[in-house]
Amino acid sequence: MGLNRRTLLHAALLLIALAVPLTGNIYYTRFATQIAIYGMAALSVDLLLGFAGLVTFGQAAFFGVGAYAAGMLSVAGWTDAFIVWPAAVAVTMVCALVIGALALRTAGFQFIMVTLAFAQMIYYIGQSLRDYGGDNGFALPGRNHLDGLLTLRNHVTFYYVVLALLVLVLVVALRLVHSQFGMVIRGGRDNERRLAAIGFPPYRYKLVAFVIAGGIAGLAGALMANHASFVSPAIMSWQMSGELLAMVILGSPGTLIGPIFGAAIYLLFEQILSDYTEHWMLYFGPLLVVRVLFIREGLWGFLVRAFGAQEAPQAPPDLAGDAIPAASGSEGGGGR
Amino acid sequence: MTWSLLIEQSFNGLQLGLMLFLMAVGVTLVFGIMRVINLAHGSMFMIGGYALVATFAATRSYWLAVPLALVAVLIVAAILEILVLRPLYKRELLDQVLATFGLTLFFNELVVVIWGRIPLNLTIPAFLDGHVEIFPGIAYPVYRLAITAVAVVVGVMLFWLITRTRLGALIRAGSDKREIVEALGVNIGLLYTLIFGLGAALAGLAGMMTGPLLSIESGMGDPILILTLVVIVIGGVGSVRGALVGGLLVGLFDTFSRVLIPQFFGVGAGSALVGMAVYVLMAIVLVFSRTGLFAAHRG
């Protein structure tokens, strides 16, 4: 019965998402598109955070590489989305392979810093591309189109394409984490040594997860470039990486759907607060602190519980944290 | 490359390296001892700059303004440590990252609310204005020389503090085995506040000294924080010696790559490579040692 209620909850949310353009207000449709794109990027963070136990502070780099790749290809005259988007994903995955291969040599505290540092490196490279507007970024000549099928110039059409891709990514990611690969990844999060002892090399599995997550972020980036018809280094700033993490935490890590929900809440929040004050970060920052200090469960977990659609306790909402016992080694120890 | 350029850039690199060292000490000690990753450390750098602007406007004297600004940074740091950092000591890394990231957002916006978006300027004190001939025919700004000297003095004092005093012994002991220090009856809460305050004051001092060379603006600490993290990855987490060596390495490497790379690769491709240089250095260090050059402790 729990499963049925869950299915119902998912169906209801999907229906709401599908119904947004029916409002007839193009502003809402564009806003929902933005949510879906950020949701995809946040999902990629959750794949690493919630399942592989890797706290990455550099996912914005891959978001940005995807956007830059799509943007540059469009400027160069490639407009077919069937070519541009997979190319953007491929470029991002190559970047993720190189960065992941180095960053995954470290763990915990150092992993956070290394991912942050490499993301910043990509950011500076973006800034130094003078032919592409440097710090100011550059505009795309227009949206890509699905050759022979659809032009994406219409905001509603584009929204449905983005939504379809998001659902596709979500389904694939859910299958992935429940596959053997997913079990190995989660095993590595819980105890790397035991995993190695039964014959799975943790490093290789983590690297594959890192590359897949990078590819998803790259796809989200390519969609973002199309959505805004504009790309600038701001998309890969360290604040963006932090915001993606915040979205995952606002939803619930380790659920894959939660982060999409978190992205929606985050962006709505930003929108509403910025109607009242230009200094919305002044309030959002402390709220983030409060969420961390006092609310241990994400909003998605809360919603699921309120809806009576709890999961079997195999995935507690706070599992991301347990992933890093080595780094917080001396915790416990007898309390205060 | 001429001798004069080489010497001038060496001084610049040394100065950047020492500033990064002052920044890195705070992050590395706070992680080494309290096991907290503090992304809000860049805010301390920024708050140092803004505090100096405010205290200088009030006193019109740097001799008064700098100590007052340092006190201001210390007060902010103590409040932060007690309100936010303490509950984080027993939390996992993810919580720490998010909470301190939230603090950075808050401080970046707070200075905009108080001082506005327009970057402010600190003037170089009159008695430190101008150039001096450091070698025959090579003039170097007095101010840069002065802050390098201050950083060296502060660094020496810091090493004296850590290797020769009781507080230093506690810091070293805490970074090795903090449970034992606690068990020996040391007031660990006070020690933590002191260490956090010390780190924040050093970051604030770096912000004040760099202030006249940059402009004081919201987010000015963020790029420095990221370079600081690179320094710590290279130097090794938790090690003050690592912070010094890492800082100097990164400072010199960054300075010289800015001069040399455009000469060899041209301005276009060069500027992308310049941005990458220190990260490539970090990657090379990581290939050879996962824990950096001076890993302070296992675990």
- Which pLDDT belongs to residue A331? 35
Nearest CA in chain B to A296: B95
- Option in A110, A324, A333 nearest B233 (CB): A110
* Nearest CB partner across the interface for A289, out of B102, B112, B283: B102
Inform me whether the C-beta atom of residue B291 falls under 8 Å from chain A C-beta atoms. yes
Distance from CA of A315 to the nearest CA of B (A): 17
Higher pLDDT, A323 or B195: B195
Q: How many CB pairs under 8 A join A and B?
A: 157
Residue A208: the pLDDT is 94
φ and ψ at residue A28, rounded to 5 degrees: -65, -40
Residue A292 predicted with pLDDT over 90? no
B90–A331: do the CB atoms touch at under 8 Å?
yes
Q: What is the pLDDT of residue B185?
A: 81
Q: Which ranges of B60-187 does DSSP label H, i.e. alpha helix?
A: 62-80, 86-88, 93-115, 142-164, 166-176, 178-183
Of A238, A246, A282, the CB nearest to B106: A282
Rounded CA-CA distance A257/B91 in Å is 25
Question: What local confidence, expressed as pLDDT, does residue A333 receive?
Answer: 33
Count CA atoms closer than 13 A to A148's CA, side-chain side: 2
For the stretch A54-101, pLDDT in tens is: 999 999 999 999 999 999 999 988 888 888 999 999 999 999 999 999
Which chain B residue has its CA at the smallest distance from A322's CA?
B92
User: pTM of the prediction?
Assistant: 0.85
Nearest to A238 by CA among A71, A142, A116: A116
Residue A164: what pLDDT?
Answer: 94
- pLDDT at site B1: 62
**B39-54 confidence digits (pLDDT tens):** 999 999 999 999 999 9
* pLDDT score of A46: 94
Q: Pick the residue with more confidence: A1 or B244?
A: B244
Name the burial class of residue A167, with classes exposed (0-12), middle (13-18) and buried (19+) by CB atoms within 10 angstroms of its CB: middle
Do residue A289 and residue B299 have CB atoms under 8 angstroms apart?
no
Closest B-chain CA to A122: B276
Distance CA B172, CA B189 (A): 16
Report, in angstroms and rounded to the nearest whole number, the Rg of chain B calculated over CA atoms. 19
A328, B92: Cβ pair inside 8 Å?
A: yes
pLDDT > 80? residue A258: yes
Q: Is the pLDDT of residue B278 over 90?
A: no
Percent of chain B whose predicted confidence (pLDDT) is above 70:
97
pLDDT of A27 above 80 = yes
For chain B, give the mean pLDDT: 87
Checking if the pLDDT of A129 tops 90, the result is: no
Region B7-26: mean pLDDT is 91
Helix (H) or strand (E) holding A146: strand A145-146
∠ CA A189-A216-A69 to the nearest 5 degrees? 135
Q: What values do phi and psi take at A320, rounded to 5?
A: -55, -40
As a whole number of angstroms, the longest Cα–Cα distance in chain B is 61
Q: Which of A175 and A330 is assigned the larger pLDDT? A: A175
- Quick check: B258 contacting A, CB < 8 Å? no
Which one has a higher pLDDT value, A2 or B249?
Answer: B249
Residue B26 to residues B47, B248, B254: CA-CA distances in angstroms?
A: 15, 16, 21
Res B107: pLDDT = 94
pLDDT for residue B31? 86
Scanning A77-130, the segments in alpha helix (DSSP H) are: 81-103, 108-128
Interface subset of B 12-71, CB within 8 angstroms of A = 31, 35, 37
Cβ-defined contact of B291 to A110 (cutoff 8 Å): yes
Per-residue pLDDT tens digits for A211-224: 999 999 999 999 99
- Mean pLDDT for B34-39 is 86
Does the pLDDT value for residue A322 go beyond 80? no
pLDDT tens per residue, range B70-118? 999 999 999 999 988 888 888 888 888 889 999 999 999 999 999 988 9
A104 with A111: CB under 8 angstroms?
A: yes
